Amino acid sequence: MNLLIKQATIISSNSKFHHKTIDILIEGGVITEIKNNIQTKSNVKLIEVKGLCVSTGWLDLQAVSCDPGYENKEDLDSLIKCAASGGFTGVCIHNYNLPPLHNKVQIEYVLNKTQNKLVDVFPFGTITFEGKGKDLAEMFDMKQSGSLAFSDYKSPINDAGMLMRALQYSTNINSLIITHANEDSISHLGQMNEGEISTSLGLKGMPSLSEELMVQRNISILEYTGGHLHIPTISSKRSIELIKKAKSNGLNVTCGVAAINLFCDDSSLLEFDTNYKLNPPLRSKKDMLALRNAIEIGVIDVIVSDHAPHDTESKDLEFDLADFGMIGLQTAFSCALEGLKENNIDCIIKSFTTNPRQILGLDEPLIADGQLANLTLFTLEDQTMLTAKTNLSKSRNSPFFGKPLKGKIIGIVKGSKTFFN
């Protein structure tokens, strides 16, 4: 399908058309013209939306597919639909699978099943065998099969020696380690952020100290071993300070934040909605504001969806029995926009495009003549509302059903494949 995108504002700091409003002609999946005004042709589909913006296709650095093992919650096909609807042309999946993504067979299963799909799917192999933190997984074999990074998802590497060996080994194979920061012995049985609200609700808290101690420990190990460490979802002001200092000392450490942590604080749990039960949890308003500022100044590198599908049996329970997590691919952009506002759109887009690809060592697609199209189309003025009809996940664990949110994803274009909401 040939497309003509009319009068779109380009948001791409690597493009010479950055902040310019122009037309883009795509023929056979390739950008063939970028001009102030391109005449409409008979064999071209016209895309013309008020306030339209276009950027390089977005890449989400943290989601789970549940496939294989928990396909009743999500599968790779439904994940791809959610990602496309949320504006992502690429999505990285962590281990929430049975069997785990701990060997080359599992990596190849995901890659083979998603080959030539609308959205690129990048599976991350586990750091440890079965993601249980005891023995190193077959990282070399998984790297050879296509794993770009290694992560045990929400299971922190409690054994300091294990993390040290993982970082050393990943350096030898030119990869990176992604590890969740949570000291289980401190946050054990915690349900939400520890503070005044958790006390008033009578819920056991998860102190920010449990995250900060692990961030500090992991940075200290990185300083000893070298390599590249990525902390996927930080949530506290002190964690930001630790990472900022590590970066200033020249350590190769990067980090991300879940989009919802930029929009909501722990007061969202006053109604005991289990869809707000997250790990890391929604923290205080002070922490939320610090996270926003850290995106603006570049301490936090990426914003992620932290897409974690759960069925009704896992969420429609008493609060302390419900699983952690929410679906987020279709609302990640709106949450980021609600938190950071339109004047920070450049920061938002950079955290969805340039930075995640730099972390993974991937080339960023260009918005230029002769380049294969890899684009996300969106507006800042319209609104998004998640409903039973628009939700493309197999799961419904989101607090945003029926609630209007800022921004709207118009669609994505990736080569000759397209998706429009």
Structural domains in the chain plus CATH codes: 2-54+369-420 (2.30.40.10), 57-360 (3.20.20.140)
* Strand pairing report for 2-10 and 21-27: antiparallel
* Helices 332-340 & 285-297 angle (0-180, nearest 10): 90
**Which alpha helices (H) appear in 158-311, and where do they start and end?**
160-172, 184-187, 196-201, 208-225, 237-248, 285-297
Q: Strand order of the sheet with strand 120-123?
A: 58-63, 88-93, 120-123
CA angle 239, 398, 300 (to 5 degrees): 25
Residue range 277-288, pLDDT digits in tens: 999 999 999 999
CA-wise closest residue to 367 among 52, 112, 54, 48: 54
* pTM higher than 0.85: yes
State the Cα–Cα distance between residues 171 and 65, nearest whole angstrom: 27
Distances, alpha carbon 129 to alpha carbons 101, 105, 170, 171, 412, in Å: 9, 13, 15, 19, 36
The pLDDT, as a whole number, for residue 80 is: 98
Hey, which residues are catalytic here?
306
Q: Which residue has the tokens 């002070």?
A: 286
State the Cα–Cα distance between residues 231 and 178, nearest whole angstrom: 6
The values of phi and psi at residue 246, to 5°, are -60, -40
Could you tell me which residues come within 8 angstroms of residue 414 by beta carbon, excluding any fewer than 6 positions away?
57, 89, 118, 119, 120, 373, 374, 375
Could you tell me which residues come within 8 angstroms of residue 392 by beta carbon, excluding any fewer than 6 positions away?
78, 81, 82, 85, 330
The pLDDT, as a whole number, for residue 40 is: 84
Name the β-bridge partners of 148.
none
Name the β-bridge partners of 412.
376, 419
Blockwise average pLDDT, block size 10, the chain, 421 residues: 95 94 96 93 92 98 97 98 98 97 97 97 98 96 98 97 98 97 96 97 97 98 98 98 98 98 98 98 98 98 98 95 98 98 97 98 96 98 95 98 97 97 94
The distance of Cα 343 from the centroid of its chain, to the nearest Å, equals 21
Tokens at residue 46, please? 């016209």
